[in-house]
Amino acid sequence: MLMGAPIKLIGNYNGDISYLNAYGRPGKAGIVTTGHGSILEANDEAAKLFNVISAKAMKNVLIVSYAHRSSVQNFKSYLHSAKNVDSFSTDLLVLRPRGGVPFKAAVSAKVIARGQQIVLLYWEVSVATISGLKIA
């Protein structure tokens, strides 16, 4: 699923291929973004996690809009690093669901397609289950 080299992407992403179906894992919140962080695909688990009416409603939203202000710069750094690395995992980041209480989560991402000026990333979010964490 998350194994192997990035797919060589020719032309622009046009939605004909579901990268989420190719890389996503059942029960995990998964999101596919451009290298700039614009969401192309999200699954139902991600929509529930971020309190969004449907996964389709997440399309074209910047992934950093779901980051708490304390984690926005981290997300931007990870997006920038995607030009040079194939995958990364984060420390616990503070995420912000729409109209909900911020929570801490581990986020991992893998470059799944790389073209001349195109990078696509598959993000997976795992909610932290550590008690007693305080969010600033």
Residue 102 domain-assigned (yes or no): yes
| Bridge-based pairing state of the strands 103-114 and 7-8 | parallel
The rounded distance, in Å, linking the Cα atoms of 37 and 32 is: 9
pLDDT given at position 135: 46
pLDDT given at position 51: 95
Residue 2 domain-assigned (yes or no): no
pLDDT in tens, the chain (136 residues): 333 444 444 344 555 556 776 677 777 899 988 888 899 899 999 999 999 999 999 999 999 999 999 999 988 888 888 878 888 887 788 999 998 889 998 888 888 877 766 678 888 888 765 444 444 4
CATH number, domain containing residue 67 = 3.30.450.20
| Bridge-based pairing state of the strands 119-127 and 103-114 | antiparallel
pLDDT given at position 85: 81
The rounded distance, in Å, linking the Cα atoms of 25 and 29 is: 8
Residue 18 domain-assigned (yes or no): no
The rounded distance, in Å, linking the Cα atoms of 25 and 124 is: 9
Residue 82 domain-assigned (yes or no): yes
Residue 133 domain-assigned (yes or no): no
pLDDT given at position 116: 62
pLDDT given at position 1: 33
Q: In total, how many domains does the chain have?
A: 1
Residue 88 domain-assigned (yes or no): yes
Residue 59 domain-assigned (yes or no): yes
Structural domain span for residue 74: 7-12+23-127
